[in-house]
Structure 1
Amino acid sequence: MKGKRYNRIKEKWDITSGDFFVIGYRTLMLSTKTFVRIQKEAEKILGDGAAVIFYEAGKKAVLVSVKRIEEEWKSEGEELIRSLEEFYAEVGFGKFIIGEAKAEGGEELMIKVENSFIAKEYGKSDVPVCHFLRGYCAGIGEALTNQEMDAEEVKCMACGDDHCEFAVKMVE
C-alpha cells in the first residue's frame, strides 16, 4: 500500500537529456549491488576510513532531503517524521521507524530500519556495515532536534540481527 504522501513526490524523467529528478533534485538510480560494491572497494582501499566517508556523506545527504520535504510537503513535527519514514521506504532505503526522543531535551533518539538496502546486499559481517544509513540517522536527529548528533549502529542485519537499529545521541 502506498503512503498518503506518495503522490506528492514529484518525479521528472527526461530520457532525451538523461535527467531524473525526485523532490526537485537530480537523482540517479543505482542498484544496491553497485552501492555495496562501491562500499566494499572503499573498505579494501581505505580500511576504517571508508566508514567515515559513507557516514559523513549520509549525514549531509539527509539534511538536503529533510529540508526539501519540509518545504515541499509543509511538514513539521510528527508529520515530518511520518513523511520521512514514508519517503525513505518509497525510494528503497528500507522501512524507517523513527522513535521518540528520549531523555531530557531529546538527547537520544532510536531509529529502527527494517530491510536495510545495505545490510541485505552486503552479506554476513562481524561488524555493523550500514555507515551511510548511520549518517542518515544522525542527520535526521539533527534535523529534528536542532542539535549536533552522532549515531551508532547497535543492531545490524549483516551481523545476524532481524533489523538494523541506530542510537542517535547529542554530541557533548
Structure 2
Amino acid sequence: MSENQILDELVYESASGSLLYKGVRYLLIRPETLAGFQKALAETCGQKGGAALYDGGYAGGSLSAQKYKALHNFSDEEIVEFMMNMGNQIGWGNFSLVSYDAPLKHLCVAVDDSPFAQAYGPSSRAVCHLIRGVLAGLAEVLFDGKCTAAEVQCRAMGDEACRFEIEAVESIGA
C-alpha cells in the first residue's frame, strides 16, 4: 500500500466513466478550471458567487463526514483526522489540524499549498470557499448543528498558508 490510501482504493468504472471511493463518485478537475469558474461567478454574482461555492463545499463536507464516520465507525476525533488526510490525498493541499475543541464547538484548520489559492492568483479577499464549506460541513457532523467558517488567512492574499476558523452557529456570540 502506498502512502495515499484514497488512490489505492479508487475504483475506475469504464462503462460509466466513473471514479469511485468507497462507492462515492469523485472527479479529477484542474484547479484552473475551478478558479476560472469562481472568477466568472464573482464577476456575475459578486460575493454570492463565493457563497455558492461555500454552500457546495458544505454539502460535500457534511455528506463525506457522515458517510465515512458511519462506514468506519469513527469517533469525532477520528473523522477529523480522516478528513484532514483525505484533503491531503485528493490534492486539496496539506491540511493540518490546529485545534479542535468539542465543548466549545470550535475547529481550526491550516492548509498549506491550497490549489484554489494558487490557481486563483493574488486577491484582496480569501478565495478558498470550497475548503471553507467542506470544513463547515464536517463541523456540522461534529457539533450536530449548523456551523459557519471563516478563512482568516489565505495564500491568495499573501499569507503563508490558509487558515480556517469553524464554529457552531449556536456558539457564536455565546
Equivalents in 1 of 2:14, 2:39: separation in Å? Answer: 31
Paired residue type of 2:99: E
Written as runs of structure 1 = structure 2, the 5 A alignment for 1:18-29 is: 18-29=17-28
Whole-Å separation in 2 of the counterparts to 1:76 and 1:9 = 23
Superposed, 1:61-80 pairs within 5 Å as 61-80=60-79
- Which structure 1 residue ranges, 5 or more long, are not aligned? none
Whether the 8 Å contact between 1:23 and 1:68 is mirrored in structure 2 is: no
Amino acid in structure 2 at the alignment position of 1:14: E
- State the percentage of identical aligned residues: 26
Report how far residue 8 of structure 1 moved: 9.1
- Between the aligned partners of 1:60 and 1:76, the Cα distance in structure 2 is 21
Deviates more, 1:58-67 or 1:142-151: 142-151
- Structure 2 runs not aligned, ≥5 long: none
State the AA in 1 paired with 2:111: V
Matches within 5 A, 1:1-172: 2=3, 6=5, 10-102=9-101, 105-172=103-170
Q: TM-score, normalised by structure 2?
A: 0.88
Equivalent residue letter for 1:149: C
Amino acid at match of 2:21: V
Runs of 4+ in 1 over 4 A off after TM superposition: none
Partner AA of 2:119 in structure 1:
E
Distance 2:95 2:71 in 1: 20
What is the letter of the counterpart of residue 65 of structure 2? V
| Per-residue deviation, 1:89 | 0.6
How far is 1:160 from its partner?
Answer: 0.5
> How many residue pairs end up in the alignment?
169
